[in-house]
Structure 1
Amino acid sequence: MLYKKVGKIKEEISAIGLGCWNFGGQWDTSNDENAVKIVHAAIDNGINLFDVAPVYGFGKAERVLGKALKDGKRSKVLIATKCGLVWNEKHETKNDLSKKNILREIDESLERLQTDYVDIYQLHWPDHNTPIEETVSALEEIKKAGKIRYIGLSNFSQKDVETFMTMIEINAQQALYNMLERNTSSYHNIPLEYKTEDEVLPTVRKYQQAFFPYSPLFQGLLTGKFKPNGNFSEKDIRNENPKLRGELFKKYYEGVVALEKFADKIGKPLNEIALNWLRQKDEVTSIIAGASSVAQLEKNVHSTTWDLSQEELSEIETIIEPYRYM
């Protein structure tokens, strides 16, 4: 495993992290027993960053990760979980970064994760109904209590990031980023308040923050395994992503077909190419890559054993240029 180091975080972090959304039971590939095996295999392969959130499976993903990290494994890893996206009995969600809610959420996450602290506590989405000062007050309180070590912002505008940084140290950022979603304006129909490549990357570079790109394989599209249609069942949460169905999907699929031809030419798997394209960027610290099996995890890890050449990167750039602002 390769590791990266940034100024805002003491530990070296594995270049490939493990995204735990599919542990929540909302994907076709979700399976609790399999998830535990994936976590253990990730640790054995040198992965030390595990990214999760309360809303993934409405608490389930955190519970599964907590179970997998028992018996001495917790001390070997960095847990990055989130707060601020709450749900009701109907599983309808809303953003809430109020002090009262953050104080409640951290204790519930700690219980589900079976730990006394979270390494990186990330605000999942902005909440413009709560003053930033109130949110910062909550973060200061739980950090002073030893419940969190580092603070991250996920899906925030860089203007808001700068505002937070006048009040509290921000150690990490997380944003949507992959070869076909570079400065995209939405995620699952949710408007994004940032352009990753144009705005987030310069900020994390300037302040030596860790940067964790999520959806690096475009929820499976960049694995090269998708067909023109019928890629998952009706129960799979990816149905909520308009980019994976209809006319939008057709446009993105064209890009994947071109990338598959490039992959065949250089004799490398598309998923590894997609991960290396990210990893070889200086601003990218750890890639939040999900895995539905130990074999898939090992393929992700294998991407760290080789590099794309400058000529190959230039050819990729030509292929994906039409998607820079799509």
Structure 2
Amino acid sequence: MERTKIQGLTIQPTRVALGTWAIGGWMWGGSNDQESIRTIHEALDQGINTIDTAPAYGQGHAESIVGEALKQYGHRDQVVLATKVGLDWIGQDVFRNGSKQRIIKEVDDSLKRLQTDYIDIYQVHWPDPLVPIEETAEAMGTLYKQGKIKAIGVSNFTVQQLKDFIRVAPIHTVQPPYNLFERDIEDDLLPFAKEHHIVALCYGSLCRGLLGGTMTADRKFTGDDLRLSDPKFQAPHFSHYLAAVQELEKLAKERYGKSIRALAVRWILDKTENGIALWGARHPAQISDVSEIDGFHLDQQTLSEIDHLLLRHIPHSIGTEFMAPPVRDHA
């Protein structure tokens, strides 16, 4: 499996990482712990050495599952473990908190849940407008100097916020949403990351299942499923995106003999050059075909065909604004 380099890490992370939001259960209708552990083990068996998680995924639950899975599997020193900081919660209500106090407390909570004494990539989950970027950056820089974290990352930051952050502490990775359907970062953030040697960990690679190849028009979402609030999964947009998926699936099969999932992930890898695609899964079968991404690349003609295909089927592109967690009432 292809690998990339991140400053500060002694091992090279694979360019496909396991995403564990769904494993936490929160906003995904729950999950099964033993099935989740099997999924993590399957990813490791398939050659993935990078796992991305966060305290907010199930309010600590995903981190605990990842920690238990790695304890059972062993070889912690061969795994790139990425988690996040800067969200707080009361019950199921999650909100931003990028204060120094929160960061210093949260890292120890995460280390305990993950059953480890260091975190490879520690990422600020969302910027907190009630806390100066400089305060957040200073706290992250302190953890970096202490050795509790090996690399500093940020997630969902604008280019200006990145500039403000790096005046105080280094940034080694950035984690934005990026997939065939959500491409807002192409004009500014990706060029900035490339210029400053920042590796992009792209989340939402399969666009919350849309690019998984199994979703149909009669699919229903219930409970706290975040897709209930995503306009892509509501009429009339849902039918537009499914039509695009159908044509993408045909292209993947006829031109490359691959699944649409492999095409979607390969598209991210080829577009970012050294970036990482987060492949979310909570069942072993959802990650068992990850090897399909090997052995092919998308040439410029294919990339252009994909762009035209999307324009034909999706008249109004929809972003990821709906996912942003609320800001606290006061600092």
Is the 8 Å Cα contact of residues 231 and 237 (structure 2) preserved in structure 1?
yes
Residue equivalent to 2:4:
4
Cα pair distance change 1:40/1:216, threshold 3 Å? same
Pair 1:121-2:92 in alignment: no
Equivalent position of 2:328 in the other structure: none
TM-superposed CA distance for 1:88, in Å, is 0.5
Partner AA of 2:294 in structure 1: T
| Residue type at the aligned position of 2:11 | E
The residue that corresponds to 1:109 in the other structure is 110
**Post-superposition CA distance 1:89-114 (Å, at most 9, x none):** 2x112111001111111111111111
Query: Deviation of residue 9 (structure 1)?
Result: 5.1
| AA in 1 matched with 2:39 | I
- Distance in 1, Cα, partners of 2:5 & 2:146: 26
Identity %: 38
Larger deviation, residues 122-131 vs 235-244: 235-244
The residue correspondences of 1:276-315 to structure 2 (distance < 5 A) are 276-315=266-305
**Distance verdict in 2 for CA 1:239–1:32, change over 3 Å:** same
In the alignment, does 2:218 pair up with 1:217?
no
Residues 212, 284 of structure 1: 8 Å contact kept: no
After superposition, give the CA deviation of every residue in 1:25-69 in whole Å (9 maximum; x if it has no partner).
233572211111121222222211110010101110000000001
Asked if the contact 2:8/2:150 (under 8 Å) is kept, the reply is: no
Equivalents in 1 of 2:169, 2:79: separation in Å?
Answer: 24
Aligned counterpart, 1:260? 249
Which residue does the alignment assign to 1:193? none
Matches within 5 A, 1:171-320: 171-183=172-184, 196-266=185-255, 267-320=257-310
| Pair 1:51 & 2:66 matched | no
Matched to 2:20, the amino acid is: C
Shift of 1:250: 3.0
* Residue deviations 1:265-298 (CA, integer Å, cap 9, x gap): 3232111111111111244521111123222212
Alignment correspondent of 2:144: 143
Q: Distance in 2 between matches of 1:37 and 1:149?
A: 27
Structure 1, unmatched stretches of 5+, are: 184-195
Match in the other structure for 2:22: 22
Q: SS where residue 153 of structure 1 aligns? A: strand
Q: Across the two proteins, how many residue pairs are aligned to each other?
A: 313
CA contact (8 A) 2:7 2:151 kept: no
Q: Do the aligned partners of 1:8 and 1:172 also contact (CA within 8 Å) in 2?
A: no
Verify the 8 A CA contact 1:123 1:152 in the aligned structure 2.
yes
Q: Does the CA contact (< 8 Å) of 2:17 and 2:277 recur in 1?
A: yes
Aligned to 2:77: 75
Secondary structure, aligned partner of 1:94: strand
Match of 1:189 in 2: none
TM-score normalised by length of structure 2: 0.88
Shift in alpha-carbon separation, 1:301–1:291, aligned structure 2, 3 A: farther
Q: Report the residue type matching 1:56 in the other structure.
A: Y
What is the CA–CA distance in structure 2 between the aligned matches of 1:110 and 1:179, rounded to whole Å?
34
- Structure-2 residue corresponding to 1:190: none
Which residue of structure 1 lines up, in the alignment, with residue 321 of structure 2? none
Distance 1:258 1:318 in 2: 11
**Does the 8 Å CA contact 1:272/1:302 hold for their aligned counterparts?**
yes
Does 246-255 or 113-122 show the bigger shift? 246-255
Contact 1:3 1:12 in 2 (8 A): yes
The letter of the residue matching 2:301 is E
CA distance in 2, matches of 1:84, 1:109: 12
Q: Does the C-alpha gap of structure 1 residues 259 and 29 become closer, same or farther in structure 2, counting only changes over 3 Å?
A: farther
Tell me the equivalent position of 1:188: none
Q: 1:128 Cα deviation (Å)?
A: 1.0
Q: Which range moves more in the overlay, 285-294 or 60-69? A: 285-294
Task: Name the CA shift for 1:107/1:115 in 2 (closer, same or farther; >3 Å).
Answer: same
Q: Given residue 77 of structure 2, which amino acid in structure 1 is its aligned partner?
A: S
Q: Secondary structure at the match of 2:176?
A: strand
- Structure 2: which amino acid aligns with 1:175? P
Aligned-CA RMSD value: 2.1
Query: Under a length normalisation based on structure 1, what TM-score does the superposition of the two structures give?
Result: 0.89
Residues in 2 aligned to 1:11 and 1:325: alpha-carbon distance in whole angstroms: 38
Query: In the alignment, is residue 62 of structure 1 matched against residue 59 of structure 2?
Result: no
The residue aligned with 2:327 is none
SS in 2 for 1:14: coil
Structure 2 unaligned regions, length at least 5: 319-331
Deviation string, structure 1 residues 210-248 (Cα, Å, up to 9, x no partner)? 111100100110112111132444353432323222333
What whole-Å deviation, never above 9, does each CA across 1:103-161 have from its counterpart, x for those lacking one? 11111111111111111110001101101221122112222222111110100010110
Amino acid at match of 1:36: I
Specify the SS of the correspondent of 1:177.
coil
**CA distance in structure 1 between the aligned counterparts of 2:46 and 2:137, rounded to whole angstroms:** 36
Q: What one-letter code is carried by the residue in structure 2 that aligns with 1:18?
A: L
